Structure 1
């Protein structure tokens, strides 16, 4: 199964690869009709935070494989190889990654639990 989620893989100056999936907020409410919601596309992304991150891979394929062994196939990944021209964007991504552990705390866990409860409610109503 696949589930579209915006993500980026990047190579740092030392040659290691990382992959980050941007945080997102869904356009759904618990009382909405589940048939009106497309979980692939009815979301807004925060391109300044990651909800999932993996670092220190030898290549972009290994970074991608780290995600798909735990989650659904997200579709395409934006791949950013190290070049001096990409320095600013890679520095921005490295800063987001450095802040990630602090952000992946109770707030992220609570949001994941909220989504799971909404989907469970929809599944019960659909049955």
Structure 2
């Protein structure tokens, strides 16, 4: 069974392959009876919610994702070729920002829980 999520696999200039799945959020009322969790989403193509880099080939990049999530149902593959270099540079920049974004999200979540626990002790 697949669960489609927009993704891209790309080859960087150094020859390694990365895979990124774009961040997404519900596009509609998740509690509605007819809400479709697979297709009722909006994607942010400037942020990854999953990233794995440094793979020897596209299959290895996909395997890294499949260890964590179900079959993504397809995606775009970009080889390091002149016509793809601009998009690959953009993807590499998003990938470079990924660890900092995750750290900021984790810190915000920790602060949120600290405030909740502090309110319980008052």
Aligned to 1:102: 100
Aligned to 1:4: 4
Structure 2 stretches lacking a partner, 5+ long:
110-122
Aligned to 1:57: 55
Structure 1 stretches lacking a partner, 5+ long:
111-127
Say what the alpha-carbon RMSD is for the aligned residues. 1.8
2: CA distance, partners of 1:24 / 1:50: 9
TM-score of the aligned structures, taking structure 2 as reference length: 0.81
1: CA distance, partners of 2:67 / 2:12: 23
Matched pairs, number: 108
Aligned to 1:123: none
2: CA distance, partners of 1:82 / 1:57: 14
Say if 2:14 is the partner of 1:20. no
Runs of 4 or more consecutive aligned structure 1 residues displaced over 6 Å after TM superposition? none
TM-score of the aligned structures, taking structure 1 as reference length: 0.78
The structure number with the bigger radius of gyration is 2
- The Cα of 1:106 is off from its aligned counterpart by 5.7
1: CA distance, partners of 2:85 / 2:27: 34
Say if 2:39 is the partner of 1:37. no
